[in-house]
Amino acid sequence: MKVLLTGAAGQLGRELARVLPEEGREVVPFSHAELDVADCPAVEAALEEHAPELVINAAAYTNVDGCETERELAYRVNALGPRNLAQLCERRGIELLHVSTNYVFDGTSESPYEPFDPPNPLSVYGRTKLAGEEYVMRLCRRWYVVRSAGVYGEGHNFVRTMLRAAGEGRSLKVKDDEYISPTYARDLAGAIAEIVSRGLYGLYHATNSGSCSWYDFAREIFTLAGIEADLSPIKSSEYPLPAARPANGVLSSPDGPAMRHWREALSDYLSREL
Ligand SMILES: NC(=O)c1ccc[n+]([C@@H]2O[C@H](COP(=O)([O-])OP(=O)(O)OC[C@H]3O[C@@H](n4cnc5c(N)ncnc54)[C@H](OP(=O)(O)O)[C@@H]3O)[C@@H](O)[C@H]2O)c1
């Protein structure tokens, strides 16, 4: 199966470009510089030239706080990009897998969010990502939407930020009232490969299993890395950011792929990083 991959230089894109060929799939990767998903004629030309059977959209504008001020750019990339892909894939009979986020939820639930729970995003990022999902679900028939959370891999992410800050000897205050399931991009890529190979279209949640606060996550990073960091917990109300985040950002999926515990995945990641 030939797969056209957008956002191929991002954290998830890099892992997909590695994992999918191992599963016997031919991947045609496009970085942002090579293909802007918001540029409809360019997307059409890429589909025409490569004639893939599946498109995986790992492209997104992921700067959550940046989206609050760069609203048009956020909408172009996170909503109009998937709309272009959905319309063009439908016209050509191509399957589309689109990646989305736990930030489509408001985080007020007491339990992990299931795919059928009603979304209610708190931020521009969440709203534009939700609009992107909806375009995909409405404009093409053969779709997969895979939501994840707290993704780290080769790129700008929380794990690298923590390690860098501790290395600079900074004291760190990290929120202990916001929960997620941290997810290694390599594991997410494996889960996506599994979802695609099942061929069952629909909406999935895919994260490493278990959950923790960002503070617990930071503590585990330093424990596993053997670093004595000056780390203390803080409440989100004491640490205002431009974009509101869901307090409960934990996802679960009754029929999603089974994924290992976040601690095991983090340990694996750190053994490659350090
Ligand atoms: N990171 C997380 O914690 C997280 C959590 C939940 C869900 N997700 C979702 O997971 C997916 C992958 O995220 P990630 O962590 O891999 O993010 P990432 O590392 O920021 O990768 C996103 C990639 O998309 C590219 N991009 C931006 N605008 C584009 C455009 N107009 N056309 C084509 N490519 C464009 C970026 O390139 P430039 O950097 O060069 O602009 C970047 O390489 C996204 O859908 C994201 O919403 C991420």
| Distance in Å, CA 132 to ligand 1 centroid | 13
- Say whether 125 is catalytic: yes
148 lines ligand 1 (CB under 6 A): yes
Catalytic residue among 61, 75, 113, 125: 125
Q: pLDDT exceeding 90 applies to what percent of the chain?
A: 97
Residue 274 pLDDT class (50, 70, 90 cuts):
confident
Arithmetic mean of pLDDT, 123-134: 98
In eight-state DSSP terms, residue 119 is P
139 to each of 45, 50, 87, 111, 189, how far by Cα in Å?
19, 21, 6, 31, 24
The whole-number average pLDDT for the span 145-153 is 98
Q: Which of 62, 186, 262 to mutate to test the pocket of ligand 1 (most atoms within 8 A of CB)?
A: 62
**What is the 61 CA–ligand 1 centroid distance (Å)?**
5
Structural contact between residues 194 and 258, judged by C-beta atoms closer than 8 angstroms: no
Rounded to two decimals, what is the model's pTM? 0.97
How far is residue 123's CA from residue 35's CA, in Å, rounded to a whole number?
26
Q: Which CATH architecture has domain 2-212+241-273?
A: 3-Layer(aba) Sandwich (3.40)
Asked if pLDDT for residue 147 goes beyond 90, the answer is: yes
Q: Is 191 in the pocket of ligand 1 (CB under 6 A)?
A: no
Nearest CA to ligand 1 atom 13: 12
Query: 41: which residues sit within 8 A by CB, 6+ positions away?
Result: none
